[in-house]
């Protein structure tokens, strides 16, 4: 392990103060006792301290045990464990069994030796990303290359990644690309849509159950967390997870074990976790709707996935890719249509753009211009394309998650537009009528660029 290659430990994290990527490190130095001046860097795995020659830092003080301390570098800090030493380890007057450090500390070992442990994190240099594709995600703009560079840097580590971005930006594609670039690529990639799980079955779906655990449990079932053993668990829309289930998820992530409903003993699981959300988790933490400890467990490495309106220069590249996937590479997109596509703000992001391209190509003869509209889920009166439930046929034929996203966006936009129109754009009165928080309306107004009353 060399300082020039800090990513090999897998213990990368985003510094929440500076927003930079760092590799976690600690430095231990003997500041009192017969071994004063001895020091070492803790940069990987488990570090042992004691008088035996096999220790990573060997001491000569006879008051120190052969194997006195174990120091474990973890994503959340440095775990310090006294190995049942004869004379103990003390922090001030308190004898230490096991603690996890997030900052500096001074410890006394036995009767004479004192050590100081200090963070010595190393900034991770980000090199430019070559190419315009990260897995199935595509982009050649500065925004996307910066994102791809970050994810490429952390892919082959065990760091937990939180993908933050609006609906339709491709967070699941990015998560799968991270998995396929990691050492776990041969293992399963299990997707948990926290917003789609039935409320009364979330526990069973995540953790599994034994036969007879509850009414209807006719056979044992492995939970999705256990299904991800040896691979990657992708927690999509994690901000939708009910508050009362968050402690169970936190426990599973901290201990890397699950206890199926009705089971007495827990099962160990070997998983890497990637999470995604279109919600502002720090704001949810502030309003006590999301646990702070779970947030920091998930937000080890934070990656902001930009909205399409932030990198419109990628639209021609994306359209060409859609035409290729739809086997219509021969189709020419005229400059007038391209200008129309570039002028749209794309509240549904890449998903909306693809939907528009598909709909345009489905017109008779593949005729364009492509109609750019926000009503992606609206039914039409065209023969063969009307559904009595009010959903267009092209939406109904999409995968469940994609269809759901399109319909939710269409509903939110139309509902909010009519709600605000009734109250002349006054958000406070609109929030009161709808029974929702005014901050949530503010977020939707910004997302869909809806004009409102100012002041």
- Give the residue-averaged pLDDT of 409-418: 80
Interval 144-159: pLDDT, tens: 999 999 999 999 888 9
More confident of the two residues 237 and 412: 237
Distance CA 258, CA 224 (A): 10
- Which of 366, 368, 376, 370 has its CA nearest to residue 412? 376
Of 53-67, 154-168, 213-227, 235-249, give the lowest mean pLDDT range. Answer: 213-227
* Percent of the chain surpassing pLDDT 90: 45
Neighbours of 17 (CB within 10 A): 6
More confident of the two residues 409 and 293: 293
Token pair recorded at residue 345:
């703000």
Mean pLDDT for the chain overall: 84
Answer left, alpha or beta for residue 278, where phi above 0 means left and psi between -120 and 50 means alpha: alpha
Q: Is the pLDDT of residue 63 over 80?
A: yes
Question: Mind spelling out the 3-state secondary structure of 107-138?
Answer: EEECCCEEEEEEECCEECCCCCCCCCEECCEE
| Strand-pair partners of 21 | 14
Q: Is the pLDDT of residue 388 over 60?
A: no
Q: Is the pLDDT of residue 364 over 70?
A: no
- Which of 203, 277, 201, 210 has its CA nearest to residue 239? 277
Distance CA 45, CA 80 (A): 12
Residues whose CB is less than 8 angstroms from the CB of residue 362 and which lie 6 or more positions away in sequence, other chains included:
394
| Strand-pair partners of 26 | 42, 119
Asked if residue 243 lies in contact with residue 290, where contact means CB atoms within 8 angstroms, the answer is yes
Distance CA 366, CA 453 (A): 42
Residue 386: band (very low, low, confident or very high) from pLDDT cuts 50, 70, 90: very low
More confident of the two residues 391 and 102: 102
Q: What is the pLDDT at residue 385?
A: 42
Residue 393: band (very low, low, confident or very high) from pLDDT cuts 50, 70, 90: low
Phi, psi of 126 (to 5 degrees): -105, 120
- Which of 45, 306, 362, 281 has its CA nearest to residue 169? 306
Distance CA 407, CA 65 (A): 65
| Strand-pair partners of 43 | none
Query: Which H or E run includes 51?
Result: none
Distance CA 374, CA 54 (A): 66
DSSP state of 391: B
Q: Is the pLDDT of residue 366 over 80?
A: no
Residue 391: band (very low, low, confident or very high) from pLDDT cuts 50, 70, 90: low
| Strand-pair partners of 135 | none
Answer left, alpha or beta for residue 242, where phi above 0 means left and psi between -120 and 50 means alpha: beta
Q: What is the pLDDT at residue 455?
A: 37
The CA distances from residue 402 to 240, 264, 362, 398, 414, in Å, are: 17, 38, 18, 6, 19
* Percent of the chain surpassing pLDDT 70: 88
Q: Is the pLDDT of residue 178 over 70?
A: yes
Asked if residue 297 lies in contact with residue 256, where contact means CB atoms within 8 angstroms, the answer is no
Distance CA 449, CA 344 (A): 11
Q: Is the pLDDT of residue 275 over 60?
A: yes
Residue 7: band (very low, low, confident or very high) from pLDDT cuts 50, 70, 90: very low
Residues whose CB is less than 8 angstroms from the CB of residue 384 and which lie 6 or more positions away in sequence, other chains included:
393
**Angle, vertex CA 37, rays to CA 35 and CA 40, nearest 5:** 95
Distance CA 150, CA 155 (A): 9
Interval 20-59: pLDDT, tens: 888 889 999 999 999 999 999 998 778 999 999 999 999 9
Asked if residue 96 lies in contact with residue 78, where contact means CB atoms within 8 angstroms, the answer is no
Peptide bond before residue 265 is cis, with ω within 30 degrees of 0: no
Q: What is the pLDDT at residue 444?
A: 77
**Tokens 């410890």 belong to residue:** 107
Q: What is the pLDDT at residue 372?
A: 53
Interval 422-432: pLDDT, tens: 877 777 777 77
Residue 1: band (very low, low, confident or very high) from pLDDT cuts 50, 70, 90: very low
Q: What is the pLDDT at residue 392?
A: 60
């Amino acid at each position: 392990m060399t300082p020039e290659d800090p990513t090999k430990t897998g213990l990368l994290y985003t510094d929440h103060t500076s927003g930079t990527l760092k590799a976690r490190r600690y430095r231990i130095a003997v500041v009192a006792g017969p071994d004063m001046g001895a020091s070492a860097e803790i940069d990987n795995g488990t570090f042992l301290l004691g008088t035996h020659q096999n220790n990573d830092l060997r001491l000569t003080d006879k008051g120190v045990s052969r194997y006195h301390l174990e120091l474990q570098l973890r994503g959340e800090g440095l775990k310090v464990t006294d190995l049942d030493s004869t004379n103990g380890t003390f922090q001030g007057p308190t004898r230490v069994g096991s603690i996890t450090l997030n900052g500096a500390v001074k410890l006394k070992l036995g009767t004479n030796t004192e050590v100081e442990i200090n963070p010595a994190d190393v900034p991770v240099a980000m090199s430019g990303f070559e190419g315009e594709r990260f897995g199935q995600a595509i982009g050649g703009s500065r925004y996307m290359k910066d994102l791809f560079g970050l994810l490429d840097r952390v892919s082959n580590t065990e760091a937990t990644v939180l993908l933050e971005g609006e609906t339709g930006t491709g967070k699941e594609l990015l998560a799968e690309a991270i998995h396929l670039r990691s050492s776990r690529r041969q293992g399963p990639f299990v997707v948990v849509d926290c917003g789609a799980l039935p409320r009364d079955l979330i526990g069973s779906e995540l953790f599994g159950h034994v036969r007879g655990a509850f009414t209807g449990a006719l056979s044992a079932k492995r939970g999705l967390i256990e299904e991800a053993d040896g691979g990657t668990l992708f927690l999509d829309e994690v901000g939708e997870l009910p508050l009362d289930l968050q402690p169970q998820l936190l426990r599973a992530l901290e201990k890397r074990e699950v206890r199926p409903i009705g089971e007495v003993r827990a099962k160990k699981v070997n998983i890497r976790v990637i999470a995604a959300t279109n919600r502002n988790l720090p704001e949810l933490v502030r309003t006590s709707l999301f646990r702070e400890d779970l947030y920091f467990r998930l937000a080890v490495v934070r990656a902001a996935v930009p909205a399409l309106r932030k990198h419109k220069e990628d639209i021609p590249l994306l359209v060409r890719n859609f035409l290729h996937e739809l086997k219509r590479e021969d189709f020419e997109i005229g400059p007038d249509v391209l200008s129309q596509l570039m002028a749209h703000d794309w509240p549904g992001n890449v998903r909306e753009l693809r939907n528009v391209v598909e709909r345009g190509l489905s017109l008779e003869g593949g005729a364009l211009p492509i109609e750019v509209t926000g009503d992606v889920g609206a039914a039409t009166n065209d023969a063969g394309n009307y559904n009595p439930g009010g959903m267009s046929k092209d939406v109904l034929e999409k995968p469940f998650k994609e269809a759901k996203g399109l319909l939710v966006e269409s509903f939110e936009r139309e509902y909010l537009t009519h709600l605000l129109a009734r109250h002349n754009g006054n958000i406070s009165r609109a929030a009161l009528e709808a029974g929702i928080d005014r901050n949530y309306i503010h977020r939707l107004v910004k997302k869909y660029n809806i004009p409102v009353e100012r002041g």
